[in-house]
Chain A
Amino acid sequence: GAVVSQHPSWVICKSGTSVKIECRSLDFQATTMFWYRQFPKQSLMLMATSNEGSKATYEQGVEKDKFLINHASLTLSTLTVTSAHPEDSSFYICSAIKREGLDEQFFGPGTRLTVL
């Protein structure tokens, strides 16, 4: 199988606080992980590409200082939303590519962030 987990599945925080979201590949090694954001009733938007042991590559318009990404191992990437504001409320979904195969991305279950 190819299972990707995310934690937490949902989080509510106050404006100005930071929130960390974890993305783990449970049964495979992932050299590359991706972070997407989905606003209600909209499509997924790629935020950044995360490669193990190197700096993440951010898409145009995504603030790297606000969305900190760390890919510390071949099975874990984290996204930290710093100084969160209500407009950051969204569904954050990660995906991972197997080290030995580039044909498919495996998506996590998503994390719903609500900033009050």
Chain B
Amino acid sequence: ELKVEQNPLFLSMQEGKNYTIYCNYSTTSDRLYWYRQDPGKSLESLFVLLSNGAVKQEGRLMASLDTKARLSTLHITAAVHDLSATYFCAAPSYSGGGADGLTFGKGTHLIIQP
């Protein structure tokens, strides 16, 4: 059974600082997804990482995937208040392919203070 662990689960940081959220998963997968969720809303797709060594950047967020270590990271650079949200990583639940439902981490609740 796939387990996806995120840490930290809660993060309070100041604007302008950098930080990294970690996502470990327990079984082989060639892909990993990152999502953002605002209170009361559904998921917004941030990154789709499809291969070992994949690195993607969008604005102040950068995600990477190391399939050998079963580790993905979401790095926040020079945080701004608008990035306050809950961030989830997720991996395919079974075969590791794209047709699977996803197993999600518990989420990282990020608060960015002025």
Chain A residues engaging chain B, CB cutoff 8 angstroms: 32, 34, 36, 42-46, 48-49, 59, 93, 95, 97, 101-110
A37 to B48, CA, bound (A): 22
CB-contact partner of A93 in B42, B93, B103, B107, under 8 A = B42
With A103-B50, A107-B45, A109-B42 given, is the CB distance from A46 to B103 under 8 Å?
Answer: yes
Assess whether A108 is in contact with B48, with CB atoms less than 8 Å apart.
no
B98 pairs with A103, CB closer than 8 A: yes
Give Cα A59 to B106, complex, Å. 18
CB pair B104 A102 closer than 8 Å: no
CB-CB < 8 A to A48: which residues of B?
Answer: 101
Residues in chain B near residue A43, CB distance under 8 A: 88, 104-107
Q: Does B48 contact A44, Cβ atoms closer than 8 Å?
A: no
Query: Could you tell me which residues of chain B, from 15 to 56, have a CB within 8 Å of some CB in chain A?
Result: 31, 33, 35, 41-43, 45, 48, 50
Q: How far is the CA of A105 from the CA of B107 in the complex (A)?
A: 18
> A13–B107 Cα gap in the complex (Å)?
29
